[in-house]
Amino acid sequence: MTSFIPFARPDIGQEEIDAVVEAMRSDWLTTGPVTQRFEHAFAETIGGVEAVAVNSATAGLHLAAEAIGIGPGDEVITTTHTFTATAEVVRYLGADPVFVDCDATTLNIDPARIEAAVTPRTKAIIVVHFGGLACDMDPIITIARRHGLQIIEDAAHALPTTYKGSMIGSLDTAATIYSFYATKTLVTGEGGMLVTRDPAIAKRARTMRLHGIDRDVFDRFTSSQSKWRYEIVAPGFKYNMTDVAAAMGLPQLRKMHLLHEKRSALATAYDEAFADLPLQLPAHPQPGDVHAWHLYVVRLRDETPMDRDGFIEGMAARGVGCSVHYIPLHLQPYWRDKYELRPEDFPASTDAFSRAVSIPLFSRMTTGERDTVIESVQSLLGRD
């Protein structure tokens, strides 16, 4: 019996192990020269931005929302079809998320519904590039300009993703945040990166990620004068990335395109193998654009011989781990009760949730594992 195929598995090689050991043997451990190198390399990868390394995407989203001035009484429009981190950071600042439905095909936020949700209290929009497929950013940027709103991009799934030929992260928005959580397309265990084209947002995020200190610890300890002096300019947070984590991130970043090619090839294999099955397959980007393929989400059609839970159980019985992205926020007790949200107000997300299954897709998957996943789906849906 072959072993269980997990839903996700990090792709850690000898380079990462060697780099982490080297960082552990250095005198730094916490934020220092390796983190700075990781930031520079990441900024170069995106192009035309500053990068601020943090200990999670949640931290990065919080810092971005704080840096653009979100506060009590403000509203921030976001999608219901996401992980709770996207919206909880709005509550950290005493503001209110306003949830809108997703597009039924892409599962990304529906631009038409954004405009309908704008009120005099609206300050910003947080978009999520679901699964690694870019949101249609042009209309969203147009709506934001028309109403004087800022845009934050939750790019936890979107490395490397492009929109009309440009890397996500390099578009004309306030800030973009990546996650390096263990299941994401680049991993540091826990970690994240805030990128921005706005030097004022970068400066504020750097200050607030470390206690509101006006200079990075690294600069403080290495600049020629006043090694001990620092100033607290705000009640900041403790969101800095460690050099041990950044050491893992650097070789991961160098391999980004290689790892993406492997995920892309798996997505193509799934597309072909599942084409004739009673499944709705994931949406693709416009020709020439890149889907990061963090997730491969299929949806069961009405004629599928079992429901979503039955499908996941059947896959597990065949040794394949699946997941669901997401249980929409409007169905979660906290959000549902606080904002009196009803399933019928989010028909696309509610329907997607009832049908969606995320199939394992990770760069370290062997061809044998890939074939097991494909054969499991085919046999479960009655094609042997």
Ligand X SMILES: *Cc1c(COP(=O)(O)O)cnc(C)c1O
Instruction: Dump strand ranges (E) for 22-67.
Output: 50-54
d(C-alpha 252, C-alpha 234), whole Å: 34
Contact flags string 41-80 toward ligand X, x per CB under 6 A: ---------------xxx----------------------
| Closer residue to ligand X in complex, CB, 181/237 | 181
Cβ–Cβ < 8 Å for 337, 373: no
Contact flags string 125-164 toward ligand X, x per CB under 6 A: ---x-------------------------x-xx-------
- Which residue in the block uniquely carries the two structure tokens 């654009």? 289
Q: Is the dihedral of CA 6, 8, 14, 16 positive or negative?
A: negative
Q: Per rule CB under 6 A, is residue 192 in the interface with ligand X?
A: yes
- With a CB cutoff of 8 Å and minimum separation 6, the contacts of 68 are 123, 124, 150, 152, 174, 175, 201
Cβ–Cβ < 8 Å for 124, 77: yes
Shortest Å, Cβ 146 to ligand X: 26
| Closer residue to ligand X in complex, CB, 162/188 | 188
d(C-alpha 293, C-alpha 260), whole Å: 8
What is the three-class DSSP state of 320? Answer: strand
Q: Per rule CB under 6 A, is residue 239 in the interface with ligand X?
A: no
Shortest Å, Cβ 129 to ligand X: 8
Shortest Å, Cβ 200 to ligand X: 24
Q: Per rule CB under 6 A, is residue 82 in the interface with ligand X?
A: yes
Exactly one of 85, 208, 297, 320 binds ligand X (CB under 6 A); that residue is 85
Shortest Å, Cβ 130 to ligand X: 8
Cβ–Cβ < 8 Å for 48, 197: yes
Contact flags string 162-181 toward ligand X, x per CB under 6 A: -----------------x-x
Exactly one of 42, 83, 311, 346 binds ligand X (CB under 6 A); that residue is 83
For the chain, give the number of residues: 384
Best CA proximity match to 365, nearest among 10, 95, 2: 10
d(C-alpha 19, C-alpha 12), whole Å: 11
What is the three-class DSSP state of 139? Answer: helix
Asked about 255 being catalytic, the answer comes back as no
Shortest Å, Cβ 55 to ligand X: 8
Exactly one of 45, 79, 86, 252 binds ligand X (CB under 6 A); that residue is 86
Q: Which of 184, 238, 262, 338 is catalytic?
A: 184
Residues assigned a catalytic role: 184
The site for ligand X (CB under 6 A) is made up of 56-58, 82-83, 85-86, 128, 154, 156-157, 179, 181, 192
